[in-house]
Chains A and B, each alone.
Chain A
Amino acid sequence: MPQMPKIATWHLPVPDVESATYWQGAREGKLLIKHCNACERHFFYPRAACPFCWSVDTSWRESSGRGNVYTFTVVHQNDLPPFRDRVPYVIAVIELEEGVRMTANVEGCSPDDVRCGMRVRVAFRDEARSEDDVVSLPVFRPEG
Chain B
Amino acid sequence: MIAGIAESRFGDVPDATALELHQEAAALAVADAGLAKDDVDGLFSCGADLLHPLLLAEYLGIRPRYVDGTQVGGSAWEFFLHHAVGAIESGLCDVALLNYATTSRSDLKRKVRSANVAIEARGPAQFESAYGHTVIGRHAMAATRHMHEFGTTSAQLAEIAVQMRANASRNPLAMYRDPITVDDVLSSRLISSPLHKLDCCIRSDGGGAVVIVSEERARDLPKKPVWVLGAAEAISHHTMSEWHDFTESPAKYSAERAFAMAGVKPDEIDVLQVYDSFTITVLLTLEAMGFCAKGEGGAFVEGGRLTLDGSLPTNTDGGGLSSNHPGMRGLFLIIEAARQLRGEAEGRQVKDATLAAVNGTGGWFSSTGTLILGAD
Q: Judging by beta carbons under 8 Å apart, are A103 and B128 in contact?
A: yes
Q: Judging by beta carbons under 8 Å apart, are A11 and B129 in contact?
A: yes
Q: Judging by beta carbons under 8 Å apart, are B189 and A14 in contact?
A: no
Q: Judging by beta carbons under 8 Å apart, are B122 and A16 in contact?
A: yes
Which residues on the B side are within 8 Å of A108 (C-beta)? none
Q: Judging by beta carbons under 8 Å apart, are B131 and A70 in contact?
A: no
In the complex, A101 Cα to B243 Cα: how many Å? 9
1/0 contact trace for A108-119 toward B, CB 8 Å?
000000011100
1/0 contact trace for A98-136 toward B, CB 8 Å?
001111110000000001110000000001000000010
Would you call A39 an interface residue if the criterion is a C-beta within 8 Å of the partner chain's C-beta atoms?
A: no
Q: Judging by beta carbons under 8 Å apart, are B145 and A2 in contact?
A: no
Which residues on the B side are within 8 Å of A49 (C-beta)? none
In the complex, A2 Cα to B118 Cα: how many Å? 8
In the complex, A13 Cα to B133 Cα: how many Å? 14
Q: Judging by beta carbons under 8 Å apart, are B240 and A93 in contact?
A: yes
The segment from B136-144, B177-185, B214-222, B353-361 that touches chain A is B136-144
Would you call B127 an interface residue if the criterion is a C-beta within 8 Å of the partner chain's C-beta atoms?
A: yes
Q: Judging by beta carbons under 8 Å apart, are B148 and A11 in contact?
A: no
Of residues 50 through 75 on chain A, the ones whose CB sits less than 8 Å from some CB of chain B are 70-75
Smallest CB gap from B239: residue in A: A45
Which residues on the A side are within 8 Å of B124 (C-beta)? 45
Smallest CB gap from A4: residue in B: B118
Query: Quick one: which of B118, B127, B137, B189 contacts A13, CB cutoff 8 A?
Result: B127
1/0 contact trace for A12-27 toward B, CB 8 Å?
1111100100000000
Q: Judging by beta carbons under 8 Å apart, are B121 and A14 in contact?
A: yes
In the complex, A102 Cα to B115 Cα: how many Å? 26
| Interface band, chain B | 35 or more
Query: Quick one: which of A2, A75, A101, A116 contacts B137, CB cutoff 8 A?
Result: A75
1/0 contact trace for B109-141 toward A, CB 8 Å?
000011110101111101111111110110011
Q: Judging by beta carbons under 8 Å apart, are B126 and A14 in contact?
A: yes
In the complex, A115 Cα to B147 Cα: how many Å? 11
Query: Quick one: which of A45, A70, A102, A103 contacts B246, CB cutoff 8 A?
Result: A70
Would you call B187 an interface residue if the criterion is a C-beta within 8 Å of the partner chain's C-beta atoms?
A: no
Smallest CB gap from B115: residue in A: A79
Q: Judging by beta carbons under 8 Å apart, are B137 and A91 in contact?
A: yes
Of residues 10 through 55 on chain B, the ones whose CB sits less than 8 Å from some CB of chain A are none
Given contacts A1-B118, A116-B144, contact A73 B193 (CB under 8 A): yes
Of residues A74, A117, A137, which shows the largest number of chain B Cβ atoms within 10 Å of its Cβ?
Answer: A74
Would you call B191 an interface residue if the criterion is a C-beta within 8 Å of the partner chain's C-beta atoms?
A: yes
Q: Judging by beta carbons under 8 Å apart, are B116 and A78 in contact?
A: yes
Query: Shortest CB–CB separation between residue B247 and chain A, in angstroms?
Result: 9
Of residues A44, A75, A86, A117, which shows the largest number of chain B Cβ atoms within 10 Å of its Cβ?
Answer: A75
Query: Quick one: which of A74, A102, A116 contacts B241, CB cutoff 8 A?
Result: A102
Residue contacts A-B, CB under 8 angstroms, 15 given: A1-B114, A1-B118, A10-B120, A13-B121, A15-B126, A16-B126, A45-B124, A74-B193, A75-B137, A78-B137, A83-B132, A91-B132, A92-B141, A93-B241, A103-B133
